[in-house]
Every structure is written in structure tokens, then in C-alpha cells.
Amino acid sequence: MNEFLRIFLPTYFIVYFGIAFVAKSVIVAKRIGKNPLVLPKDDSAYGLIGFYFKLTLIFMFIYVLLFAFIPSLYDKFLPIQQLEILTIKYIGLGFLGFALIWTIIAQDHMKNSWRIGIDTETKTELITSGLFQFSRNPIFFGMILSLVGLFLTTPNALTTIFLILGYVLIQIQIRLEEEFLTNQHGQKYMTYKQKVRRLI
């Protein structure tokens, strides 16, 4: 299984971020005439969250590359032996596969409202259909599932940190975005919040 994972994990994350973020950003940018990447680069709390989130993603990708090309390093990451079970690894693969499909579908449902960050310059449409009927933040939910999948396929101290840190940063980002959407859409968003759960 580990031989398969050494090929699968780097490929998966290249596909996941390539399709779900890079390709989607290019498509939306062409449609709306502006870059949908609107994360701030200033020293604000919001900018700091974006910085740490990007840093976490970079370290995750470095990790899967090290796992793929220098397998002897894996023991240095303090593997959790109790979870090094084939069944758990298959469950992790299931999470990863589901997360990819779920995220792509959710992004498609967002249409031109897709942004990476909070767009304070453009009033975007409030999306409440498709997967947004079941989750106010389906893309973030998909990202959390991918973190769980990475942890279950390679359970160790490093992927535990990625899971915890990623989850905390996502929860903070969700609250920042929900505050913005409340201000932008008012009662319409408040009504939506009462009907649909934050994640699932």
C-alpha cells in the first residue's frame, strides 16, 4: 500500500489543487475580468490567516514529496502505529476521492461567485442551491475531508499537525467570510444561515 501511496498522494494533491483552485481561478478570471484570488497581503489578522494557510499547504506538498521520494524519512515523522492499518488507509483513500469530487462539484455550483478570500470590491451572488443546500461552506468541508484523508493514509505527528492547523485556520476563515456575507447580503444570508448548517 505504501508504494501505491508514494505515487498517489503527490499526484492527488497536484490534481486537487490544479483542478479545484488553479484551473477554476483561471476560468472565473476570464468570465469576470479580474483575479478571483483576493487574499490580502497586509499585516492584518485576515492577512495573517491567509499567510499561514498558504504556508500549511506548501509544507503539506513538501511532505508528500518527501514521502514519495525519500521513504526512509517516514519514521522520522513519528508514525502512529495503532493507525497503520490497511483498512484505515483504504478509508483515507475514500475520503480523498470523495473530497476531490465534492470540492469540484461545489466550485461548479459557485459559478462566478468563486473567490479565494473575501472580495470587498464586488458584490457576488449568494449561492444557496446545489451542495449549498446542505452546507454553507461545502468547499471548506471538502478541504477538511482531504486533510482527514491525508492523515488516515499516512497517520503520523506531521499529518496530525496539518489536520489540526488546517481545521483551525479553515474555521477562522469561515467565520470571517460569514461576517462579510452577513454585512453584504443582510437578512437573506441570515435566513440562509438558519436553514443550512455551517459544514454539513
Beta bridge pairs of residue 106:
none
Question: Does residue 38 register a pLDDT over 90?
Answer: no
Distance CA 150, CA 188 (A): 36
* For the chain, percent of residues with pLDDT exceeding 90: 70
* More confident site: 93 or 31: 93
| Cβ-contact 28, 112 below 8 angstroms | yes
Read off the pLDDT band of 100 (50, 70, 90).
very high
pTM: 0.92
Domain formed by 2-195, architecture: Up-down Bundle (1.20)
Over residues 122-167, the pLDDT tens digits come to 788 899 999 999 999 999 999 999 999 999 999 999 999 999 999 9
CB neighbour list of residue 49: distance below 8 Å, 6 or more residues apart = 169, 172, 173, 176
pLDDT tier at 2 (50, 70, 90 boundaries)?
Answer: confident
What is the tens place of the pLDDT at every residue in 172-186? 999 999 999 999 999
HEC assignment per residue over 126-193: CCCCHHHHCCCCHHHHHHHHHHHHHHHHCCEHHHHHHHHHHHHHHHHHHHHHHHHHHHHHCHHHHHHH
Q: How does pLDDT run across 17-28, given as a tens digit for each residue?
A: 898 888 888 888
Mean pLDDT value across residues 78-97: 97
